[in-house]
Structure 1
Amino acid sequence: MHHRYIKIILILLGFFKVSFLTAQQQPNIVFILSDDAGYADFGFQGSKEFKTPELDKLAKKSIKFSQAYVSAAVCGPSRAGILTGKYQQKFGFEENNVPGYMSTSGLVGDEMGLPLDQITIANYLQDLGYKTALFGKWHQGNADRFHPTKRGFDEFYGFRGGARSYMPYDDSNPLSKNEDRLERGFGNFLEHEGYLTDELAHEAISFINRNKKHPFFIYLSFNAVHTPMEATAEDLEQFPHLKGKRKTLAAMTLAMDRAIGTVLKELETQGLSNNTLIVFTNDNGGPSDANDSDNSPLSGTKANHLEGGIRVPFLMSWPKQLQKNKNYNYPISTLDLFPTFLSAASGNSSAMEELDGVNLLPYLKEENTERPHELLYWKKENRAAIRNQDWKLIRFPDRPAELYNIQEDISETNNVAAAHPEKVRELYKQLFTWELTLERPLWQLRREFEGKAAKRMDAFRKTNTKQ
Structure 2
Amino acid sequence: MKYLTLYIFSFLLVLSNLANAKSRNEEQPNIVFLFADDAGYADFGFHGSKVMKTPNLDKLAKEGVIFTQGYVSDPTCGPSRAGIITGKYQQRFGFEENNVPGYMSKNSAKDNNDMGVPVEEVTMGEYLQKLGYATSYYGKWHLGGADKFHPTKNGFDEFYGFRGGARSFYPYTEKNKPHDELNYLERGFGNFKEHEGYLTDVIADEVVDFIERKHAKKQPFFAFVSFNAVHTPMEATEEDLAQFPNLTGNRKIVAAMTLSLDRASGKIMDKLEELGIDDNTLVVFSNDNGGPTDKNASDNAPFSGTKSNHLEGGLRVPFVAKWPNKFKANTKYQFPVLTLDLLPTFYAAGGGDTKDLNSVDGVDLAPFVIGEKAGRPHEVMYWKKDVRATIRVGDWKLIRFPDRPAELYYVPNDIKEVKNYAAQEPERVKAMFKQLFEWESTLERPRWLLQRKFENMDIDRMDKYRWKNADSKQSSSQISIP
TM-score normalised over the length of structure 2? 0.93
Q: What residue number does 1:345 align with?
A: 350
CA distance in 2 between partners of 1:145 and 1:415 (Å): 46
Preserved contact between residue 108 and residue 114 of structure 2 (Cα < 8 Å): no
2:42 to 15, 18, 40: 40
Q: What residue number does 1:79 align with?
A: 81
Q: What residue number does 2:156 align with?
A: 153
Correspondences of 1:91-106 after superposition (within 5 Å): 91-106=93-108
Secondary structure of 1:133's counterpart equals strand
Q: Deviations for 1:398-419, whole angstroms, at most 9, x for unmatched residues?
A: 1111110001111111112111
CA distance in 1 between partners of 2:107 and 2:378 (Å): 36
CA drift at 1:205: 0.4
Preserved contact between residue 246 and residue 291 of structure 1 (Cα < 8 Å): yes
Q: What residue number does 2:181 align with?
A: 178
Q: Deviations for 1:91-115, whole angstroms, at most 9, x for unmatched residues?
A: 0000011100001224321121111
Q: Judging changes above 3 Å, is the alpha-carbon distance between structure 1 residues 341 and 105 closer, same or farther for their aligned structure 2 residues?
A: same
Q: What residue number does 1:373 align with?
A: 378
Q: What residue number does 1:22 align with?
A: 24
CA drift at 1:465: 3.7
Preserved contact between residue 120 and residue 151 of structure 1 (Cα < 8 Å): yes
CA distance in 2 between partners of 1:290 and 1:25 (Å): 44
CA distance in 1 between partners of 2:13 and 2:422 (Å): 69
CA distance in 1 between partners of 2:423 and 2:460 (Å): 26
CA drift at 1:441: 0.4
Secondary structure of 1:350's counterpart equals helix
Q: What residue number does 1:144 align with?
A: 147
Unaligned runs of 5+ in 1: none
1:262 to 261, 264, 267: 267
Q: What residue number does 2:478 align with?
A: none
Preserved contact between residue 63 and residue 322 of structure 2 (Cα < 8 Å): yes
Secondary structure of 2:412's counterpart equals coil
Preserved contact between residue 294 and residue 466 of structure 1 (Cα < 8 Å): no
Q: What residue number does 2:476 align with?
A: none
Correspondences of 1:43-442 after superposition (within 5 Å): 43-108=45-110, 109-171=112-174, 173-212=176-215, 213-352=218-357, 354-442=359-447
CA distance in 2 between partners of 1:353 and 1:410 (Å): 34
Preserved contact between residue 308 and residue 458 of structure 2 (Cα < 8 Å): no
Q: What residue number does 2:475 align with?
A: none
Amino acid at match of 1:36: D
Secondary structure of 2:389's counterpart equals strand
Q: Judging changes above 3 Å, is the alpha-carbon distance between structure 1 residues 429 and 449 closer, same or farther for their aligned structure 2 residues?
A: closer
CA drift at 1:462: 6.0
Amino acid at match of 1:248: I
CA drift at 1:352: 3.6
CA distance in 1 between partners of 2:97 and 2:471 (Å): 28
How many residues of Structure 1 are paired with residues of Structure 2 in the alignment? 467
Secondary structure of 2:119's counterpart equals coil
Q: Deviations for 1:324-371, whole angstroms, at most 9, x for unmatched residues?
A: 111000000011111111100111112546211111111011011111
Preserved contact between residue 50 and residue 254 of structure 1 (Cα < 8 Å): yes
Secondary structure of 1:376's counterpart equals strand
Preserved contact between residue 100 and residue 449 of structure 1 (Cα < 8 Å): no
CA drift at 1:450: 3.7
Q: Judging changes above 3 Å, is the alpha-carbon distance between structure 1 residues 91 and 332 closer, same or farther for their aligned structure 2 residues?
A: same
CA distance in 2 between partners of 1:52 and 1:294 (Å): 15
CA distance in 1 between partners of 2:353 and 2:460 (Å): 46
CA distance in 2 between partners of 1:462 and 1:47 (Å): 20
Q: Judging changes above 3 Å, is the alpha-carbon distance between structure 1 residues 466 and 239 closer, same or farther for their aligned structure 2 residues?
A: farther
Preserved contact between residue 38 and residue 292 of structure 2 (Cα < 8 Å): yes
CA distance in 2 between partners of 1:101 and 1:12 (Å): 54
CA drift at 1:452: 5.0
CA distance in 1 between partners of 2:423 and 2:189 (Å): 55
Amino acid at match of 2:129: Q
Preserved contact between residue 303 and residue 469 of structure 2 (Cα < 8 Å): no
Preserved contact between residue 309 and residue 461 of structure 2 (Cα < 8 Å): no
CA distance in 2 between partners of 1:312 and 1:349 (Å): 25
CA distance in 2 between partners of 1:446 and 1:453 (Å): 15
Preserved contact between residue 394 and residue 403 of structure 1 (Cα < 8 Å): yes
Q: Judging changes above 3 Å, is the alpha-carbon distance between structure 1 residues 284 and 458 closer, same or farther for their aligned structure 2 residues?
A: same
Amino acid at match of 1:95: E
CA distance in 1 between partners of 2:399 and 2:459 (Å): 16
CA distance in 1 between partners of 2:459 and 2:302 (Å): 24
Secondary structure of 2:251's counterpart equals helix
Q: Judging changes above 3 Å, is the alpha-carbon distance between structure 1 residues 245 and 465 closer, same or farther for their aligned structure 2 residues?
A: farther
Secondary structure of 1:407's counterpart equals helix
Secondary structure of 1:447's counterpart equals coil
Preserved contact between residue 296 and residue 466 of structure 1 (Cα < 8 Å): no
Q: Which is further off, 108-117 or 446-455?
A: 446-455
Cα RMSD (Å) of the superposition? 1.9
CA distance in 1 between partners of 2:121 and 2:9 (Å): 45
Q: Which is further off, 433-442 or 409-418?
A: 409-418
Q: What residue number does 2:33 align with?
A: 31
Secondary structure of 1:98's counterpart equals coil
